[in-house]
Copies of this chain bind each other. A is one copy, B any other.
Amino acid sequence: MDDALADFLSEKGSGANQPHLSYLSGLVQDFMSGGKRIRPLLCVTGWQAVGGRDDPERVFRVAACLEMFHAFALIHDDVMDLSNTRRGRPTLHRTLAAHHASCRGPDEVEWFGMSAAVLLGDLTLTWSDELFHSAGLAPAQLGAVLPLVSQMRTELMLGQYLDLHATGGLTDDVDATLNVYRYKTAKYTIERPLHVGAAIAGTDPEAMAAFTAYALPLGEAFQLRDDLLGVYGDPLVTGKSHLDDLRAGKNTTLTALALRTADGEQAALLRRLLGDPLLDEEGAGVVRGIFEATRARETVERMIDDRQQQALRALDDAPFTADAVGALKRIARMATARDS
């Protein structure tokens, strides 16, 4: 799959009269080299699960298209979050701004970086489409896969919008936080890649329903683990500060649970400390203490456990190949028990 990506992007940048395109496709190529490839892995596993065996080239190209779509999503996400780093390197809007820094004022350079990153995201989305259409799917495959890809895109964008909409005020609405996880993580990252892979092999409603029964609880569990790592993870292992989420006042299921069961004094403290950009270790310690006193941390651990069990149970009667069931079980354990 990595070969398909590299070939495609090199070709995009090879138009002799457009050095700009070559620069831009090179940026995307570098950016993508740091990805975890979780969606392509699930896409290929979905294909194998329903008996896909021959002619893996097509599924690899579609898997590559999912990874390129994800690159688009991250480029725009970093613009919206005003993030400076991603995967330990500067985000693309920072790189583009730096590339353009000669003889301009700082505001103008900042603005150029943001605008160019919006455009580069758009270009990456267009390229992910081209990659999809170059996969050589037969008309019947195209008819099965295309609606799933469209749904995946709309679901992600809706999830992003819900998330954006909730930002800026703390919520104690646990279901609302889980709804965002469902769209942004469970459907986008797990369910749809499995569906897309399966649809290439040709599948039936029963198998599709089994993927959903596995993916939705697992995706929620994955995101709930992420919340805990953001607050309790070891920065040396996770590679990110365990203060950032608290300083950003991120709406998570963890904070919603804590707010819901907090007494008046605890709630006031949470509302004062969460979202404080200058929060220090001492303040973070107070927040963590409230997460424990309200049993929010314990509840999230139990929710992860329940959901992991539910995902594993969904595999019991699923009409999947034995190899794929083994792989999906490993993925479920890795996604929920990880420490980074």
Complex Cα distance, B160 from A123, in Å, reads 11
A331 sits at the interface (CB 8 A)? no
Question: On chain A, which size bracket covers the interface?
Answer: 35 or more
Given A119-B80, A125-B122, A100-B157 contact (CB < 8 Å):
no
Instruction: Report whether A20 and B162 are in contact in the complex, using a CB–CB cutoff of 8 Å.
Output: yes
Instruction: Report whether B154 and A126 are in contact in the complex, using a CB–CB cutoff of 8 Å.
Output: yes
Indicate which residue in B100, B119, B126 contacts A160 across the interface (CB closer than 8 Å). B119
Complex Cα distance, B155 from A18, in Å, reads 11
Could you tell me the distance in whole angstroms from the C-beta of A228 to the nearest C-beta in chain B?
A: 26
Indicate which residue in B24, B130, B165 contacts A100 across the interface (CB closer than 8 Å). B165
Instruction: Report whether A150 and B126 are in contact in the complex, using a CB–CB cutoff of 8 Å.
Output: yes
For this chain, the copies found in one complex come to 2
For A120, the chain B residues whose CB sits under 8 A away are: 161
Q: Which of A107-148 contact B (CB under 8 A)?
A: 108, 111-112, 114-116, 118-123, 125-126, 129-130, 133, 139, 146
A169 sits at the interface (CB 8 A)? yes
A21 sits at the interface (CB 8 A)? yes
Complex Cα distance, B115 from A121, in Å, reads 13
Instruction: Report whether A150 and B129 are in contact in the complex, using a CB–CB cutoff of 8 Å.
Output: yes
Could you tell me the distance in whole angstroms from the C-beta of A273 to the nearest C-beta in chain B?
A: 19
Complex Cα distance, B157 from A125, in Å, reads 11
Complex Cα distance, B329 from A134, in Å, reads 37
A168 sits at the interface (CB 8 A)? yes
A36 sits at the interface (CB 8 A)? no
Indicate which residue in B118, B129, B168 contacts A76 across the interface (CB closer than 8 Å). B118
A158 sits at the interface (CB 8 A)? yes
Instruction: Report whether B20 and A119 are in contact in the complex, using a CB–CB cutoff of 8 Å.
Output: no
Q: Which of A103, A133, A153, A157 has the most CB of B within 10 A?
A: A157
A53 sits at the interface (CB 8 A)? no
Given A18-B158, A169-B103, A119-B76 contact (CB < 8 Å):
yes
Complex Cα distance, B146 from A216, in Å, reads 34
Q: Which of A123, A125, A161 has the most CB of B within 10 A?
A: A161
